[in-house]
Amino acid sequence: MSSCSYTLFASLCLTLLLLLSIQCATASNIGQGYRLISTEKTSDGGLLGHLQVKQKNNVYGADISLLQLYVKQETQNRLRVHITDATKQRWEVPYNLLPREKAPLKKQAIGRLTKNPLKVQEFSGSKLLFSYTADPFSFAVTRKSNGQTLFNSSSSGSNDFGEMVFKDQYLEISTQLPKDASLYGLGENTQPHGIKLYPGDPYTLYTTDASAINLNTDLYGSHPMYLDLRNVDGKAYAHAVLLLNSNGMDVFYRGTSLTYKVIGGVLDFYFFSGPTPLDVVEQYTDLIGRPAPMPYWAFGFHQCRWGYHNLSVVEDVVENYKKAQIPLDVIWNDDDHMDGKKDFTLNPTNYPRDKLVPFLEKIHSIGMKYVVLIDPGIAVNSSYGVHQRGIANDVFIKYEGEPYLAQVWPGAVNFPDFLNPKAVDWWGDEIRRFHELVPVNGLWIDMNEASNFCSGLCKIPRGKKCPTGTGPGWICCLDCKNITKTRWDDPPYKINASGQQVPIGYKTIATSAVHYNGVLEYDAHSLYGFSQTIATHKGLQGIQGKRPFILTRSTYVGSGKYAAHWTGDNQGTWENLKYSISTMLNFGIFGVPMVGSDICGFYPQPTEEICNRWIEVGAFYPFSRDHANYYSPSQELYIWDSVAESARNALGMRYKLLPYLYTLNYEAHISGAPIARPLFFSFPDYTDCYGVSTQFLLGSSLMVSPVLEQGKSEVTALFPPGTWYSMFDMTQAIESEGKYVTLDAPLHVINVHLYQNTILPMQQGGMLSKVARMTPFSLIVTFPAGASNGEAKGTLFLDDDELVEMKLGNGYSTYVHFYASVNHRTVKVWSEVEDGKFASDNGWTIEKITVLGLGGSGHPTNLEIDGEPVTTASKTEISNLAHKYLHNLDDKKTSVMVEVKGLDIPVGKNFAMSWKMGLSL
């Protein structure tokens, strides 16, 4: 079965295909490809061409005879290649959900056919070059600066893949890849081999409620994007490729090639030229939307579980955190607060409004927040206003003209169609009504893949009692028939849905169900959670007038513009702790930087040791939340004394770092830069870190190196070249040429190191972000250890986090650039402040400046602030301590840490400080 190329034996082959569709599909050439028959320049500077199928066959349906090719250099560093049916409009990701330049509509007549198009043509932008071969048609994208081929769909000379295929329900295209390219992305997927895509592992993209414990499986989100990092003679070049398509797809990565097999839509490629990984996410989020600004409190610690039976349990949890002196900003409810698990309701017995509202007033008064869950499925219940108003407004997805019936937690439900503008308005109105009932501070949208406990076409059974929101109720109780009658329910090519090639309508909305304007669920399936996220964002913005906070399980390209994400249902095991790092880092690349995993695992419960290690990692997730299943025993951080101690250490550090995390949130919002990053983002030239999946960076220079194995009290971590300082004891330095260093890591210790040339803004921490953010600042300045010359810099963003927009220039924000230098023995630290009024109005001051890595062993003298000598009469104290080296390249080298404290420097004004280091004795 090695070849099914179109031959005289095509019909035999087709029969075999039907019998053995899988084997044949992965190893064969399905068609002879297309021939380019015309090209012309468009008025907007693009290139328009037509492609004619070379030889039709019926494998997976008939080929589309004539295609339109449109190529556009959209920006200096972004190239688009769009291929669709030349005569018929096809499904594309809706332009209102993901705003972007329109591709030209199909042309009625094909003018100016060039009979003999050139064999090789080029179409050049400033960074990327598009070239093609006419017959059979293939295209390539080249980096102009070094001539490297980034993408090449030509199958000539390849045994791995065949020519481009374009049928109604089967699109196939491939690229060659150099074998030393490192690829990242293509999620959502739990990747047992770490963050780097692994040749031979399957990557299927189709939003599915398959728990995150399933490896190499299509999970909750769909992100058909990969970042490709290559090293050419020691220098790194990164670029990214997005195939903007919402239909289900299998992606086969073989190491030297990659093939997309997509079951609908169009081939809409975007190429981003990089060349650094940070450039790539900047360019990517420029297209898909910059990450949402998060409120300050979102960076605090969150506690949740399914099974907080009543309000007094929630009150106890809050109280116990306080008693244990563990920071807590946000308390959550899963669905326990609901009446019969119905959205936007309160359980009158366990969460009575007259008790819940005073509780919320109490926690809100100290700055704590409250977030609850909602699901998209709206209970079918004649006494339930939300459903009644939904019916009245005709907001639900339809099957044969009736609202499509499914089963989720409350029992029988209908699913709102968020592609329908009326449904978006109705949803916003329900959020407003709920907010009047319960002043929640954010919403958690779950089960939005969409998850369904049944499959197919269902009816409410007669004479059988189904769960109505009490009891487990995840076993389908409706009377259902599988739907196999349409080609949407049973497409000719089967993606590896749920990792088991189940029918694509399995346990979700039937794929022949219909949305607004006749859109098929088949096409829009993976956009369901994304469309709900946009509607929820609109609703929250409308009523609160405040920056919305949304946590969503299902995501698509562009979700990060509206919401945070957690990695779904995981287990309290060492493996799951490890996997959480790769998934988190991938979401940073996907433009969803506010991400974390359920700390200590969702189900089953962790051991005490795992929970210790997990909070040590989780304290440094951008989104830090402990969450557990109904059937798990309690795992709040105070349950075990040892976990409480680890939590105080790790979260204590997080709360001191909040100004840094919040500044990273601002950077993410203006440039897409991930908050948590793989090491290669800061050290792209250093190939040893390309596969590191057990450590990560926060921003560019804070590195977290956790223990991820049982029984260990040491961790061996990679230190890219340069000097690194321990955040828990700043006298400790590691000078690395780029090697693995073994660090002590007893149970309560998490290793966090700060890289050279950085200025890190910190505050004094506390039990609540609102309190912590009003404490005095300190600055940590790092130089390469012992250097007599060096520079460092850092930034700090402060704003009123209630405001919807996060930006400068509105009178409610301040941005500070910090700089430092050491030149021979003169040390300088200074700031340049933009829009200082907000910081000045809040009275923020810098109390301490700590400079690490100064050469020699001398004492500081001649301290000056803004040109004035600091006298001994002032309360300023200056001291120095020698660094201890865990790893030292030059044994004789000495260096000191200098700390200047008792300062009272306004954050909102420029300052300059200097001193001289005395000669070493």
Ligand X SMILES: *[C@@H]1O[C@H](CO)[C@@H](O)[C@H](O)[C@H]1NC(C)=O
User: Catalytic residues, which ones?
Assistant: 446, 449, 569
DSSP 182: E
Separation between Cα atoms, residue 132 and residue 116, nearest integer Å: 14
Please identify, among the stretches 241-249, 388-396, 494-502, 545-553, the one whose residues bind ligand X according to the rule CB under 6 A: 494-502
Between CA 505 and CA 522 the distance in angstroms is 8
Strand 777-782 relative to strand 845-855, pairing: parallel
Write down the least CB distance from residue 468 to ligand X, Å.
Answer: 4
Pick the stretch among 263-271, 307-315, 700-708, 892-900 that binds ligand X (CB under 6 A): 307-315
Residue 246: which residues within 8 A CB-CB, separation 6 or more? 91, 93, 222, 265, 523, 524, 525, 526, 527, 556
Q: Are strands 137-143 and 128-134 parallel, antiparallel or unpaired?
A: antiparallel
- How far, in Å, are 184, 186, 320, 555 from residue 587 at the CA level? 10, 10, 33, 10
Helical (H) or strand (E) element with 900: strand 895-906
From the CB of 624, what's the least distance to ligand X, in Å? 26
Residue 28 C-beta: closest distance to ligand X, Å: 14
Which one, 503 or 776, has the nearer CB to ligand X?
Answer: 503
Q: Out of 381, 597, 665, 736, name the contact with ligand X by CB under 6 A.
A: 381
Is residue 120 within the footprint of ligand X (CB under 6 A)?
A: no
Distance CA 559, CA 304 (A): 23
Distance CA 288, CA 269 (A): 13
Q: Which of 216, 247, 448, 544 forms a contact with ligand X (CB under 6 A)?
A: 216
Which residue stretch of 3-11, 225-233, 258-266, 496-504 sits at the interface with ligand X (rule: CB under 6 A)? 496-504
Among 114, 121, 468, 486, binds ligand X (CB under 6 A): 468
Q: How many CB atoms lie within 10 A of CB 242?
A: 21
Which region among 225-233, 380-388, 640-648, 865-873 touches ligand X (by CB under 6 A)? Answer: 380-388
| Closest of 511, 529, 379 to residue 450, by C-alpha | 529
Q: Least distance in Å: CB of 260 to ligand X?
A: 14
As a whole number of angstroms, the distance between CA 326 and CA 31 comes to 62
Q: Token digits for 231?
A: 């090293």
Q: Does 217 bind ligand X (CB under 6 A)?
A: yes
Shortest distance in whole angstroms from residue 418 CB to ligand X: 24
**What is the smallest separation between the CB atom of 382 and ligand X, expressed in angstroms?**
7
Residue 503 makes contact with ligand X by CB under 6 A: yes
Give me the sheet containing 845-855, strands edge to edge: 759-762, 777-782, 845-855, 895-906, 877-882
DSSP string across 220-284: S-BEEEEEEEEEETTEEEEEEEEE---S-EEEEE-SSEEEEEESSS-EEEEEE--SSHHHHHHHH
Candidate list 108, 365, 383, 872; residue touching ligand X; CB under 6 A: 383
- Considering only the stretches 376-384, 441-449, 586-594, 719-727, report the one whose residues sit in contact with ligand X under the rule CB under 6 A: 376-384
Which residue number, 223 or 537, has a Cβ lying nearer to ligand X?
223
Q: Which one of 85-93, 153-161, 424-432, 763-771 is the stretch in contact with ligand X (CB under 6 A)?
A: 153-161
Based on the shown chain and the rule CB under 6 A, indicate whether residue 726 belongs to the binding site for ligand X: no
Q: Which of 38, 58, 256, 310 binds ligand X (CB under 6 A)?
A: 310
313 in contact with ligand X (CB under 6 A): yes
Alpha helices in 718-820 (DSSP H): 769-772
Of the residues 61, 255, 499, 918, which one makes contact with ligand X according to CB under 6 A: 499
Interface with ligand X in residues 508-537 (CB under 6 A): none
Least Å distance, CB 609 to ligand X, is 28
Question: In whole angstroms, how close is the CB of 207 to ligand X at the nearest point?
Answer: 16
Q: Is 131 in the site for ligand X (CB under 6 A)?
A: yes
Binding segment toward ligand X, per CB under 6 A, in 274-282, 298-306, 497-505, 635-643: 497-505
255 or 340, CB closer to ligand X? 340
Q: Rule CB under 6 A: say whether 124 interacts with ligand X.
A: no
User: Using CB under 6 A as the criterion, what x/- string covers residues 556-595 for binding ligand X?
Assistant: ----------------------------------------
Strand order in the sheet with 47-53: 34-41, 47-53, 66-75, 78-85, 267-272, 235-243, 223-232, 182-187
**If binding is defined by CB under 6 A, does position 202 make contact with ligand X?**
yes
- Which of 282, 336 has the CB closer to ligand X? 336
Structure tokens, 797: 């963003």
Q: Which of 17, 69, 97, 140 binds ligand X (CB under 6 A)?
A: 140
Number of residues that bind ligand X (CB under 6 A): 30
Of 363, 444, 357, 360, nearest in space to 767 by CA? 363
Confirm or reject binding of residue 154 to ligand X (CB under 6 A): yes
Is residue 118 part of the contact set for ligand X (CB under 6 A)? no
409-448 mask for ligand X (x: CB under 6 A)? Answer: --x-------------------------------------
Output the smallest distance, CB 24 to ligand X, in A.
12
Contact 648, 326 (CB under 8 A): yes
Q: How far is the CB of 361 from ligand X (least distance, A)?
A: 19
Q: Is position 271 an interface residue for ligand X (rule: CB under 6 A)?
A: no
Nearer to ligand X, 346 or 870 (CB): 346
Measuring CA to CA, which residue among 644, 662, 607 is closest to residue 814? 662
Subset of residues 335 to 364 that bind ligand X, contact rule: CB under 6 A: 339-340
Q: Is 375 helix (H, G, I), strand (E, B) or coil?
A: coil
If one asks whether residue 857 binds ligand X (CB under 6 A), the answer comes out as no
Quick one: 482 or 821, whose CB is closer to ligand X? 482
| C-beta separation of 191 from 694 below 8 A | no
Nearest to 449 by CA among 401, 521, 344, 548: 521
Q: Smallest distance, Å, CB 481 to ligand X?
A: 7
Which residues lie closer than 8 Å to 43 by C-beta, 6 or more apart?
Answer: none
157 binds ligand X (CB under 6 A): yes
By CB under 6 A, is residue 323 in contact with ligand X? no
The piece of 88-96, 149-157, 280-288, 771-779 that touches ligand X (CB under 6 A) is 149-157
Whether the link from the prior residue into 450 is cis, omega within 30° of 0, is: yes
Complex with ligand X: residue 492 or 784, whichever CB lies closer: 492
Angle at 493 between CA 487 and CA 499, to 5 degrees: 115
Scan residues 396-415 and list those touching ligand X (CB under 6 A).
Answer: 411
* Pairing of the two strands 564-566 and 595-596: parallel
| Per-position b or e across 311-320, b if 16+ CB within 10 A of its CB | beebbebbeb
8-state DSSP, 496: -
C-beta closer to ligand X: residue 374 or 727: 374
Sequence-distant (6+) residues with CB within 8 A of 8 are none
Measured from the CB of residue 387, what is the shortest distance to ligand X in angstroms?
A: 9
Query: Edge-to-edge, what's the strand order for the sheet holding 411-414?
Result: 378-379, 411-414, 405-408
The yes or no reply on residue 22 touching ligand X (CB under 6 A) is: yes
Q: Which is nearer to ligand X, 156 or 365 (CB)?
A: 156
3-state secondary structure of 891: coil
Segment lying near ligand X (by CB under 6 A), choices 150-158, 557-565, 776-784, 836-844:
150-158
Whole-number Å distance between alpha carbons of 671 and 259: 30
- CA separation for the pair 132, 119 (Å, rounded): 8
Q: Which residues contact ligand X by CB under 6 A?
A: 22, 131, 140, 142, 149, 152, 154, 156-157, 202, 216-217, 309-310, 312-313, 339-340, 381, 383-384, 411, 455, 468, 482, 496, 499, 502-503, 506
